[in-house]
Amino acid sequence: MRWGLLLVVGCGRIAFDPLSDACRRAEQVPASISFGGRTFRYTSFDNMTATIPATQVRISGDGVDATSTSDAAGNYRVDVPIDGVARRVAITYSNASYFATVLYPDLSLDRDVLGANAARWSLGDGPLWNGTAVDAVYAAAGVTRDPSLGTLNIAVRDCADNIIEGVAVDVIPAPERLEYTAVDGTPSQTLTGTIGPFAHALALNVPLGGVSITATKAGLAFAPVEVTVQSDTGTGGTNTLTLIHAIE
């Protein structure tokens, strides 16, 4: 199975910026950006973490192919040549003991990125899960994991990386179940939209192939995002991580 994380962000117009007005495109896109963060696993539903060192990081797509490996503390940084053009890429985190995590940001990269390494996930940081951890998520959701299908994890943010509550998420083709994380980080079978402190939606047992994700909340317009959910590879699997931003 493959696990996905989609970040849905409310902002004025789609762009990328690690600063407070993150929806503003860079006035001048550089020849190269620095992309970095920390690779880790979650040890609890409320996002306590443990470092995963020696994890391969690959940033690819749209003419880009850059790689790095996290150090003993789980930290990594990679220079990404973009030749003065904002790039839509995928970021893959791979470690032999875990499922790979593939992140599809919804925004083009046009400036430096550094993960916050905080309790709430942020772009740049690379979470990985093994089969036991993913099965625990499914068990908490009351769903039996089908390893021939995929999983999509969707985080909702505004331009300043604050959570957005009350956002409803739709995934097509439909997963077996879509649940939102509760205040303790566990999937809830009763919530109908995102709430703090994590504001995630979880699509469980998602059909493989192209998947469309949309988000809605009164007063905000969210651009749809397309991702690709894939099956197991090798002895592990892959988790898909994606990013959506809203257009007001």
Taking the CB of residue 192, how many other CB atoms lie within 10 A of it? 9
The predicted pLDDT at position 234 comes to: 42
Gap between the Cα atoms of 198 and 207, Å rounded:
25
pLDDT digits (tens, 9 = 90+) for 38-59: 999 999 998 899 999 999 999 9
Buried b (16+ CB within 10 A) or exposed e, 64-77: bebebebeeebbbb
pLDDT digits (tens, 9 = 90+) for 185-244: 999 999 999 999 999 999 999 998 899 999 999 988 787 888 888 765 444 456 666 655
Give the residue numbers spanning the domain of 217. Answer: 3-247
Beta bridge partners of 238: 100
Please tell me which residue, 68 or 109, carries the higher pLDDT value: 68
Is the Cβ–Cβ distance between 223 and 244 less than 8 Å? yes
User: What's the total number of domains in the chain?
Assistant: 1
Instruction: Say which CATH number the domain at 203 has.
Output: 2.60.40.1120
For the chain, percent of residues with pLDDT exceeding 90: 54
CA 95 to chain centre: 17
Compute the average pLDDT of residues 95-122: 87
